[in-house]
Chain A
């Protein structure tokens, strides 16, 4: 143990700039070599984290984002890399987050009357081709099974890239009369898409887990209503569970789901690299698929054959990646308390003389919080130093840490540290024979977790809002884009225009990069993104109002004299643009 960094023993008097590594003189600690850490505490501008062990993260989020992300997801034990490119292993720490999302969303859709079912993994080649327009959307880059054992199959079968072509033939059998409607089905499953874009854990992978909802209504307005109900649930997943702000809107023609009528989306944003992420989508399919798959029902009055209105909606494990990208910092993961597998970790600061007292104090706190239904762990490993444990749980993003040292026990206190702000303070520990005190203590911890959740959301919202630029001409548009912002523009809502914007934005970015290279620092060019800019969504009026950008009425229908920022044609909608994952 490096004496210089283990100056504090009791944890009560840590100043803002004190080294945080603390530790004792127990035999185990000297044996196991706690790593050397020199770090600044909260409030300071973030100093570089220096760690000499492989457990820490050795790059900064703002300097090298993609390397930072790779390190966080692996070192925080979220993901394990795998021998097949684009496939990942969800370790308990990330799967528990997914289970929290599943639990919430599953309960909410069941309240809406949605029933879960399970459809097969395999789809025949003929079925996959049933619908040309739909197929083109996936370009048929899927995993084809051509053999069982060593014998060739008569015809190749595909692993589902999505399940429309599997579910709708079944729906056409099950829907006969208006009494069979609405039919609301959902499944939690894995899908495989043979992507060749650079894979990113959670965000873009060949296999991912998701839910896919498929519903059919007799009445179009009911179907439309559901599209928004589900979108609202997706917003809640992001904003209430993951503390990630999103913008709801409609996709442009180019970006909408192939074969559908219209697509709504929640769009998230990663300030650290200026990329937007499509969070989840809720599609109105109209009657296109019903026609294709022969889904008809007998009407209530006339008895004639009618086609139902269908929706589909999906949300994937991408959610986890977005939360990691938005909240994480140079120390590692920062988990929102609502989805954190552990909300509180209790760490004993043990010295030779007082270990029994400390341990029993920790146990008392632990059981008090467990009774209050908080997810809490008492980290009683003897082979690790407290400092090592602090680092590990910070890296893994546990929202709240409680430290208990010998002096705490004497004073009847403990030290609390918040992961989001890195603040520390002292708190009175309840007398465990007085249940009112225990309740108040648990209540206070709970309130702190709520504050963390709120703070994460507000912080992320402020960062995101600062990166939305309202622009109305090409020059300022590109300026916003090279500065890694999203751009909100009056737009003509024409497919050709979006295509031109995509191409022009690539050219302009490359030109900008070249100019930088010749005029200034050649190394700065790496920081310039060159990908195409696309519409993220056309935000709902209510969303623009929520963002406080302008009054809703005006944004919903830009005045006719307003022109499209790109083609100067008449503007019809306001569109949000950006580079996207």
Chain B
């Protein structure tokens, strides 16, 4: 599924480096790319005249925001801003565009506790349709759903040494079950009541390996109890300081699978199987092409022997780790004393483990990959509404009744065909306002029905992605045509994302080459304190022969802000006989470098 074939070599790198505009060449290239695609799609030109918003860190605020259209004091997500105003174009401020898309589509809202997120009905409906499909796919692998508690005794976490190191700092810790008035304090001031201190502090689960393995110890006795495969859909908490809706929040929702196996080979195969489940789910269901591979030691999950990852490319060329599957070896089995009686030997042997998860972060990936300057674009597979019917109501009451009646019939026809359809009968909005609203909410297809269309036995069909219009005859098989359009929409999204991934994946053989490709970017990053400024410049993926070395990896991370996203599973043989692009030593891997969220 990786398309690192010859076509990669045909990418015109010149576009990146030939500009005479110095620091802004990458941005310009990207703008051109967008304009070109907009033109191709028959869309509007981008407004280059807009000035950049002053950049400050994304700020969550408890008070109603004062953000108004045209006044961009801080980047923020708020239901108050941008519901009716224009979205910030990607070329102007990618980070703000992302927040604008979320606000305009009413996917999520801020919440009083800093860093947490309210997922609004449209956002949650998207998650539900992802969850339903992925849940089916996970069950097919033999895992059963369970529910483990939210709270974990702090001592559990310390049982696996690496694990606690990785997570201890970002755990929310429950210490008391009651507050009291501060003695001699200001009226209304409260503090934890010392008499309500818990005997042992409890952490809110950042992930559940420790409870799961504590229990696996009870449930696993003999080889007959293996493999044991459980999965849960739940909320987890990791104390993050720099948060961003869906991509990184204090609390997030996910699925976490945990399995126990008799042999290392079986566990390793399971970790790879789940990675493939994620990859195919992303491609087939979310229209997201991604690169799968293994993490370097420094990027591994705390406590894992091997971390498999699925890396997707956002529209600014940054990588988003979209799911991980870990081969945990016997680390957790050892820490929690989970062994089983072997089939032949009868001797006690330690169990082999995996864990794997994807989260609501996928909603962020969905937005960042498919959406455009007009708002959300959803693949039909996850769109809560796949088709919206907008009646264009004539003044004449008889004609109006006829239009409404036909729209009703069309709605019923599509429902019978299994299409998720909404008939927007609101009379207080003009059709244009409705188009605008449904575009922002990412409904894939819009049907416009006016009296003249009916007289012609036709309807106007508008594609959200290409924004192209066609007149579709209201023939006997019209619902089939709609379904075909939806399928084509889904396929088209995937094709576009695949092309983008290919275009922005480059091969480099020397460090100089990498630096010259990203040079302008680097320069800008050095002069601007705000890291979000360089989100603006298309980064891309860089594939290089690499000699595995943690120190060099750390240096490159500091020097270029790029990390090794993974050693792609496909194409590792290419490293043979090549020299590391950085150290010149014999290459051990092909490594994929990128900026990442």
Contact residues of A with B, CB < 8 Å? 80, 82-84, 87-92, 95-96, 98-99, 115-127, 129, 140-150, 156-157, 159, 166, 169-170, 173-174, 179, 185, 189-190, 192, 194, 207, 209, 381, 383
B198 to chain A, nearest CB (A): 9
In order of increasing CB-CB distance, the 6 nearest A-B pairs are A120-B116, A115-B121, A92-B144, A148-B239, A90-B147, A194-B177
Q: Which residues of B contact A157 (CB under 8 A)?
A: 113
Q: Smallest CB-CB separation from A125: which chain B residue?
A: B190
Q: Which of A84, A118, A146 contacts B151 (CB under 8 A)?
A: A84
Chain B residue at smallest Cβ distance from A184: B121
- Binary contact track B145-184/A, C-beta < 8 Å → 1, others 0: 1111111010010000000000011111111111100000
Contact call A92/B120, Cβ cutoff below 8 A:
no
> Looking across the interface, which residue of chain A has its beta carbon closest to that of B214?
A83
B170 touches A123 (CB 8 A): no
CA distance A311 to B88 in the complex (A): 38
* Closest chain A residue, CB of each to CB of B106: A174
Interchain nearest-CB distance for B201 vs A (Å) = 8
Q: Is B514 an interface residue (CB 8 A)?
A: no
Task: Write 17 A-B pairs (CB below 8 A) sorted by A numbering.
Answer: A83-B214, A88-B149, A90-B148, A92-B145, A120-B111, A122-B113, A123-B112, A124-B112, A142-B177, A143-B151, A144-B176, A149-B170, A149-B171, A156-B190, A157-B113, A173-B64, A190-B150
Known: A120-B250, A143-B177, A146-B176. 4 other contacts (CB 8 A): A80-B215, A90-B147, A115-B125, A157-B113
Which residues of B come within 8 Å of A, CB atoms? 64, 79-80, 109, 111-113, 116-121, 123-125, 127-128, 144-151, 153, 156, 168-179, 188, 190-192, 201-202, 204, 211, 214-215, 218-219, 224, 230, 234-235, 237, 239, 250-251, 253, 428
* Smallest CB gap from B167: residue in A: A149
**Chain A contacts for B188, CB-based, 8 A:** 129
With a cutoff of 8 Å between Cβ atoms, the chain A residues found around residue B156 in the complex are 83
| Beta-carbon nearest neighbor of B235 in chain A | A121
Given A89-B148, A92-B145, A149-B170, A174:B79 Cβ within 8 A: yes
Q: Which A residue's beta carbon lies closest to that of B147?
A: A90
Q: Is the interface of A mostly helix, strand, loop or mixed?
A: mixed
A120 close to B251 (CB less than 8 A) = yes
Which of A119, A148, A159 sits near B170, CB closer than 8 Å?
A148
CB distance from A559 to the nearest CB of B (A): 48
Residues of B within 8 A of A88 (CB): 149
Contact B151 A192 (CB under 8 A): yes
Contact A145 B121 (CB under 8 A): no
Cα A390 to Cα B172 with chains together (Å): 46
B145 and A89 form a contact (CB under 8 A)? no
What B residues does A99 contact at CB under 8 A? 145
In the complex the two chains form, is B121's CB within 8 Å of A117's CB?
Answer: yes
- Contacts A142-B177, A146-B192, A173-B64 given; indicate if A207 touches B151 (C-beta within 8 A): yes
Kindly state the separation between the CA atoms of A179 and B171 in the bound complex, as whole angstroms.
Answer: 42
Q: Which of B119, B144, B169, B234 contacts A190 (CB 8 A)?
A: B234
Look across to chain A and name the residue whose beta carbon is closest to the beta carbon of B80: A173
Q: Judge whether B150 and A159 touch: CB under 8 Å.
A: yes
Contacts of B145 in A (CB 8 A): 92, 95-96, 99
Q: Are B128 and A159 in contact (CB under 8 A)?
A: no
Instruction: Indicate if the CB atoms of B174 and A159 lie closer than 8 Å.
Output: yes
Min CB gap B468→A, angstroms: 31
Q: How far is the CA of A215 from the CA of B256 in the complex (A)?
A: 31
Which chain A positions have C-beta within 8 A of B171?
148-149
**Are A207 and B149 closer than 8 Å at their CB atoms?**
yes
User: B172 touching A95 by the CB < 8 A rule?
Assistant: no
Contacts of B111 in A (CB 8 A): 119-120, 166, 170
Q: Which residues of B contact A173 (CB under 8 A)?
A: 64, 79-80, 109
A120 to chain B: closest residue by CB:
B116
Contact between A124 and B113 (Cβ–Cβ < 8 Å)? yes
Q: Please, which residues of chain B bring their CB within 8 A of the CB of A96?
A: 144-145
Kindly report which residue of chain A lies nearest to residue B241, judged by CB atoms: A148
CB B437 to nearest CB in A, in angstroms, measures 13
A58 to chain B, nearest CB (A): 19
Assess A84 versus B192: contact at CB under 8 Å? Given A99-B145, A122-B116, A146-B173.
no
Chain B nearest CB from A82 CB (Å) reads 6
Are the C-beta atoms of A92 and B230 separated by less than 8 Å? yes
Q: In whole angstroms, what is the CA distance A92 to B175 when docked?
A: 31
Do the beta carbons of B250 and A122 come within 8 Å of each other?
yes
- What distance in Å separates the Cβ of B231 from its nearest Cβ neighbour in chain A? 10
**Smallest CB separation, A70 vs chain B (Å):** 16
Instruction: Give the most central of B116, B125, B174: most A CB within 10 Å.
Output: B174
Closest-by-CB residue of A relative to B222 is A383
Cα(A268)–Cα(B120), bound, Å: 34
- Contact B170–A170 (Cβ < 8 Å): no
Across the interface, A148 reaches (CB within 8 A) one of B151, B172, B176, namely B172
B253 touches A118 (CB 8 A): yes
Q: Which residues of B contact A95 (CB under 8 A)?
A: 144-147
> How far, in whole Å, are A86 and B420 apart by their CA atoms in the complex?
42
Among the listed A92, A120, A129, A383, which residue makes an inter-chain contact with B118, where contact means beta carbons less than 8 Å apart?
A120
- What is the minimal beta-carbon distance from B116 to any residue of chain A, in angstroms? 4
Q: Is the CB of A82 within 8 A of B177?
A: no
> Which of A98, A115, A143, A166 is within 8 Å of B174, CB to CB?
A143
Complex contact A118–B119 (CB within 8 A): yes
Kindly provide the distance from the CB of B268 to the nearest chain A CB, expressed in whole angstroms. 24
Contact of A147 among B112, B144, B173 (CB under 8 A): B173
Query: Judging by beta carbons under 8 Å apart, are A89 and B117 in contact?
Result: no
- Given A118-B124, A120-B113, A144-B179: A156 and B192 interface contact (C-beta under 8 Å): yes
Determine how close the nearest CB of chain A comes to the CB of B148; give it in whole angstroms. Answer: 5
Q: Which residues of B contact A127 (CB under 8 A)?
A: 112
Instruction: Evaluate contact between A144 and B178: CB separation under 8 angstroms.
Output: yes
Given known pairs A119-B111, A122-B250, A149-B171, the reply for A87 and B149 (CB within 8 Å) is: yes
- Please indicate which of the listed interface residues B128, B149, B169 has the most CB atoms of chain A within 10 Å of its own CB: B149
Q: Once bound together, how far apart are the Cα atoms of A84 and B149, in whole Å?
A: 9
A91–B228 CA distance with the chains assembled, in angstroms? 12
> Which A residues touch B218, using CB under 8 A?
80
**Given A80-B215, A170-B109, A209-B147, do A117 and B179 touch, yes or no (CB 8 Å)?**
no
Chain A residues with CB under 8 A of B80: 173
In angstroms, Cα B118 to Cα A127, docked, is 15
Closest chain-A Cβ to B112's Cβ sits at a distance in Å of 5
What chain B residues lie within 8 Å of A121 (beta carbons)? Answer: 116, 150, 204, 235, 237, 251
The answer to whether A120 touches B173, judged by C-beta atoms less than 8 angstroms apart, is no
Interface centre among A83, A95, A141, A174 (most CB of B within 10 A): A83
Interchain CA distance A145-B171 in the complex, whole Å: 10
* Inter-chain contacts of A116 with B (CB < 8 A): 121, 124-125, 128
| Complex: chain A residue closest to B229, CB-CB | A92
The answer for the CA separation of A490 and B168 in the assembled complex, in Å, is 59
Tell me which residues across on chain B come within 8 A of A92, comparing CB atoms.
144-146, 230
Give complex CA distance A116, B132 in Å. Answer: 14
The contact of B177 among A90, A98, A117, A141, by CB within 8 Å, is: A141
CA distance A157 to B251 in the complex (A): 13
- State in angstroms the CA–CA spacing of A88 and B149 once bound together: 6
Chain B residues with CB under 8 A of A166: 111-112
Whether B149 pairs with A144 at a CB distance below 8 angstroms is no
A90 CB contacts on chain B under 8 angstroms = 146-148
- Shortest distance from the beta carbon of B455 to any chain A beta carbon, whole Å: 32
Residues of A within 8 A of B172 (CB): 122, 145, 147-148
Q: Is the CB of B173 within 8 A of A145?
A: yes
What's the Cα separation between A140 and B127 when bound, in Å?
Answer: 32
Q: Which of chain A's residues have a CB closer than 8 A to the CB of B239?
A: 148-149
Contacts of B120 in A (CB 8 A): 117
State how many angstroms separate the Cβ of A387 from the closest Cβ of chain B: 18
Known: A89-B149, A159-B174, A169-B112. A149 touches B215 (CB 8 A): no
State the CA gap A119–B123 with chains docked (Å). Answer: 12
| C-alpha spacing A125/B113, complex, angstroms | 10
Closest chain A residue to B234, Cβ basis: A190
Residues on A with C-beta less than 8 A from B119 are 117-119
Check B250–A144 contact: CB distance below 8 A: no
Complex Cα gap A150–B372 (Å): 42
